[in-house]
Amino acid sequence: MPFIQYIFEASFNGITYTKNSADFTDFERCIFNHCDFSASAFVGVTFIDCIFNDCNFDQAQINYVALRTAHFNRCSFREVNFAMADKLIFDIRFNDCILDFAKFYTLKMKGTSFSGCSLIAVDFMAADLTGAAFPNCDLYRAEFDKATANKCDFSLSRNYTIDPARTKLSKAVFSKSGLKGLLARHQIVVT
């Protein structure tokens, strides 16, 4: 069994992480500023109550990472697959992040906040998004098939296409201008 390193209340600035440089490490109440994780293939890594500012995770492999109350500000996650992350206390928040082509397939993400994010072609298939909020988000080609989006707030988001016959939307909130995204399947034109 590998040795687990524990780091508490540390700040990391401008670090470029290599494929395995963070492996088998628990980070608690740490702050990461302008760090590059794009080459990382995390194994046995846990982030607890951590904040990430202006970090790059594009194409990082986060199959064996635990995100327990992780907040991401202005970070990039292009093509990152979150679906294999540790599901125990999976709690994340995104503010002004790029998540284009990311995958959240089957994850339980109740109450997750995506604020001001680009979520182009994101896979939310079969995810539980109950109570999630998407203010000022671009959801162009995002996939919600078989997802639970009850009580979600889409009122300030744009470019979504959600099929109410294939997605649970009880008490979800939409703006009048976004109704065309709910009717696309029926080829109804809303002007």
State both tokens at 82.
């979150």
Sign of the Cα torsion 175, 176, 181, 182 reads positive
Q: Say what the pLDDT of residue 82 is.
A: 95
State both tokens at 191.
């002007």
User: Which segments in the chain show pLDDT lower than 50?
Assistant: none
Distances (CA, A) of 76 to 97, 128, 131: 6, 23, 24
Domains and CATH numbers, the chain: 1-95 (2.160.20.80), 99-191 (2.160.20.80)
Q: Say what the pLDDT of residue 179 is.
A: 77
Report the half-sphere exposure of 85 (CA within 13 A, side-chain side): 28
State both tokens at 105.
């397939």
Q: Say what the pLDDT of residue 40 is.
A: 93
Least Cα distance to 99 among 146, 46, 137, 149 occurs for 137
Looking at this protein, which amino acid is placed at residue 53?
N
Q: Could you read off the pLDDT of 80-118 as tens digits, one per residue? A: 999 989 988 899 999 999 999 999 999 999 999 999 999
Dihedral angle over CA of 96, 37, 27, 73, nearest 10: -10
Q: Say what the pLDDT of residue 1 is.
A: 55
What's the whole-model pTM score? 0.92
79 alpha-carbon distance from chain centroid: 11
